[in-house]
Amino acid sequence: MNDETLKSNIFQQIIDSPHQKVKVAIADIDGVLRGKLMHKEKFLQVMESNFGFCNVVYGWDMADQSYDNVQVSGWHTGYPDAEAFVDWRTYRNIPWENNLPFFLADFTGSQASSAMAACPRSLLKQVITKAHTMGFTPFFSQEFEWFNFKQNSRELYEKNFQQLQPLTSGMFGYSLLKAAEYSEYFNDLFDLLAQFRVPLEGLHTETGPGVYEGAIQYSEILEAADRAVLFKSAVKEIAFKHDIIPSFMAKQSQELPGCSGHVHQSLWNIEKNKNLFYDGDAVHNMSRVFQQYLAGQIHCLPHILPMLAPTINSYKRLVEGAWAPTTLTWGVDNRTTAFRALPLGEKSARLESRVVGSDVNPYLAMAACLASGLYGIEHNLSLDLPPTSGNGYEDIGGGRLPSNLFEASQAMDKSPISRELFNPAFVDHFTQTRFWEWRQFSVEITDWEKKRYFEII
């Protein structure tokens, strides 16, 4: 069935829908979905053309505070509408909202609009186009760990985000017993996500009180990123129905492991019938393409780290001995390194980026992974860094990762490599939003400071 037929069928499904409204969403720079309900008649019109969406979506942070250091949006622009375009291929029905129709939109068609330069989904599509031009079809998937708390939203604010009750107690990784403790919620996640076209490969408890991990089934990269963005939002909405609050913060507590958002990736041929990462005659069964791709990621990581670790909290996860990498390392099936090569077979050979936390914007994380991998192929980089055998925290031959968001953002802002990988307008906008995030943190008086200095100093 060709695209026009598919689009026509979706158009007809919306016409025939018993609902008089459609939900439409756009991902902001932090991966938060911003959207609205549209009357069905209005939506059918914009599905054929475009619609206006206020450019403030890229002019404020996750707390709706207006940036004072970006050009794309701000008081100086007057916050006009930017031209947004519905991607009809993202059509879904929301099963926990009586199968309400849902679509994603982006600013890809707004060539003259500054919103396009800041649009994460548009950025990823640009990198995908380059991959196709180079003869590759990227297949990706993402897995998330997250904490669950037995609270509702009102209680969360009443408690000032303190002394929250974990859904379950104790350290129970892969525990069937703890999964059964809230089995209705646990099973709803798996089943409703599948109905929402975000199919899971696996769902289990992770080590930590109330921690779950979900691995999303792999697909072509744009669909994989859509699924990942929708996964985080859908988990929160499903949890609301159970009076549960999920949290995708990278690090909840110094005493507990952090929450990852590992990205799995492979390159296939244009026909999608051959995994180009596998070579049974090569060392570790890693093809030349795989080696160059990995070399590119290692080389570029210090220049684009904020796209994989975007918040203040991200860097509190990237500490030794907490199942998150701190060094520029790779290894074959080694979970202590930044990059875990898995050349397991012709169909399953892939690379896992373990730097990525659960707090990322999946569009930006996947764009960063793919662009840096393509850089390695395009520049014919050799995989000169030897694989780590054993403890990756002790292997500092490749260097260490930046230790905080400010340091990482400075490196990205000043890097010619980041501007080679991405539109300079995006790099300018994104790094300024990260500097803004650092400024917001820097002026706050923390509980640690009060405990440290209040009485004794």
Q: Which domain does 178 fall in, by range?
A: 132-448
Instruction: Kindly state whether residues 151 and 223 are assigned to the same domain.
Output: yes
Residues 292 and 191 in one domain: yes
Instruction: Report whether pLDDT(200) > 90.
Output: yes
User: How distant is the alpha carbon of residue 202 from its chain centre?
Assistant: 18
| C-beta neighbour count of 271 within 10 angstroms | 7
**Rg (the chain; Cα; Å):** 22
125 belongs to a structural domain: no
d(CA 240, CA 246): 9
Q: Are residues 266 and 367 in the same domain?
A: yes
Q: Does the predicted TM-score (pTM) go above 0.85?
A: yes
Q: Same domain for 241 and 272?
A: yes
CA distance 421 to 98: 42
Report yes or no: 77 and 57 within 8 Å, Cβ to Cβ.
no
- CATH code assigned at 145: 3.30.590.10
Give the residue among 355, 338, 323, 358 at the shortest CA–CA distance from 207. Answer: 323
> Do 354 and 227 sit in the same domain of this protein?
yes
d(CA 441, CA 443): 6
* Residues 97, 150 share a domain: no
CB 290 within 8 A of CB 349: yes
Q: Highest mean pLDDT: which of 72-86, 103-117, 190-204?
A: 190-204
Residue 229 shares a structural domain with residue 348 = yes
Question: Does 142 lie in the same domain as 111?
Answer: no
Question: Same domain, yes or no, for 69 and 206?
Answer: no
The model's pLDDT over 248-276, given as tens digits with 9 standing for 90+, comes to 999 999 889 899 999 999 999 999 999 99
Bridge partners (DSSP) listed for residue 94: 100
Q: Which of 86, 118, 150 is the last residue of a domain?
A: 118
CATH number at residue 74: 3.10.20.70
What are the φ and ψ backbone dihedral angles of 389, each rounded to 5 degrees?
-115, 115
277 and 174 co-located in one domain: yes
Average pLDDT over residues 156-161: 89
Please check the confidence at residue 205 and state whether its pLDDT lies above 60. Answer: yes
Q: Is the pLDDT of residue 176 over 90?
A: yes
Ordered DSSP codes for 335-356: TTSSEEEE---TTT-EEEE-S-
* Residue that is last in its domain, among 118, 144, 167: 118
Find the angle CA(268)-CA(273)-CA(276) to the nearest 5 degrees. 30
Domain-embedded: residue 56: yes
- The answer to whether residue 123 sits within a structural domain is no
What are the start-end ranges of the H helices in 17-64? 40-46
Give the distance, in angstroms, between the CA of residue 259 and the centroid of all CA atoms in the same chain.
Answer: 13
